[in-house]
Every structure is written in structure tokens, then in C-alpha cells.
Amino acid sequence: EAGVVQSPRYKIIEKKQPVAFWCNPISGHNTLYWYLQNLGQGPELLIRYENEEAVDDSQLPKDRFSAERLKGVDSTLKIQPAELGDSAVYLCASSSQGNEQFFGPGTRLTVL
């Protein structure tokens, strides 16, 4: 069984540029999560989807961050415009029963 796939693995952009991350969850997993992880810290939830509905986006900075999961399968997280403080690892995870989460390898974003 394939795991959670994320791309790209690494991204370097100039500040004020847009950036997008893509996630393909494990087949059959209805719940999808996007997290942000800073060095030495635990993951912080940005948004959680149940199928195509965003059920918890309270921590998503909506002025510059957006996400979509149009067909309830893969998802895209976008930042526009990126700021220096957005440099971090962006993790995607999925689950089928809402408890145990399966994480992807993450996208390491560097904003210069």
C-alpha cells in the first residue's frame, strides 16, 4: 500500500512569491490534515478535511493561506504571498478512523 505522497519535497522561493504544495493521501482515507512544523517543534494543525469539507481551519492564516480538496481525495495548500516566517516543513497526513494518522515526508519550504 502506498503511503501519503507529497510534492515537492523541497522548495526555495523569494518572499512575496506564491507557492503551492500537493498531497495525495492513502487510498480510502477520508480525513486529510495539513500541518506546519518548525525546527525543534511539534506539528501544528493548519486545516483538517473530512472528505471535501474543511471541518477545522481555525489555525489557518486565511489572509495568505488557502487550501482545497475538491474531490475529497488529493489536496493543495497554497501560500500567497509567502513571508520569511513561513519557512518551515509542511506535513500532510491522512486517516481513515480519525485517530491514527499516516504522515507524508513533508515539504521543506525556504523563503529568502
Partner 1 sequence: SQKIEQNSEALNIQEGKTATLTCNYTNYSPAYLQWYRQDPGRGPVFLLLIRENEKEKRKERLKVTFDTTLKQSLFHITASQPADSATYLCSSGGYNKLIFGAGTRLAVHP
Spatial CB neighbours of 45, under 8 Å, sequence gap ≥ 6: 33, 34, 35, 56, 59
CA distance 108 to 43: 13
Residues 75-104 binding partner 1 (CB under 8 A) are: 91, 93, 98-104
Q: Which of 13, 30, 54, 59 binds partner 1 (CB under 8 A)?
A: 59
Q: Which of 48, 60, 67, 77 binds partner 1 (CB under 8 A)?
A: 48
Using DSSP's 3-state secondary structure scheme, residue 85 falls into: helix
Nearer to partner 1, 22 or 81 (CB): 22
Instruction: Using the structure block, give the residue that is written with the C-alpha cell 493561506.
Output: 65
Min separation Cβ 14 and partner 1, Å: 24
Does 33 sit near partner 1 (CB under 8 A)?
Answer: yes
Q: Which residues of this chain interact with partner 1, rule CB under 8 A? A: 4, 33, 35, 40-45, 48, 56, 58-59, 91, 93, 98-106
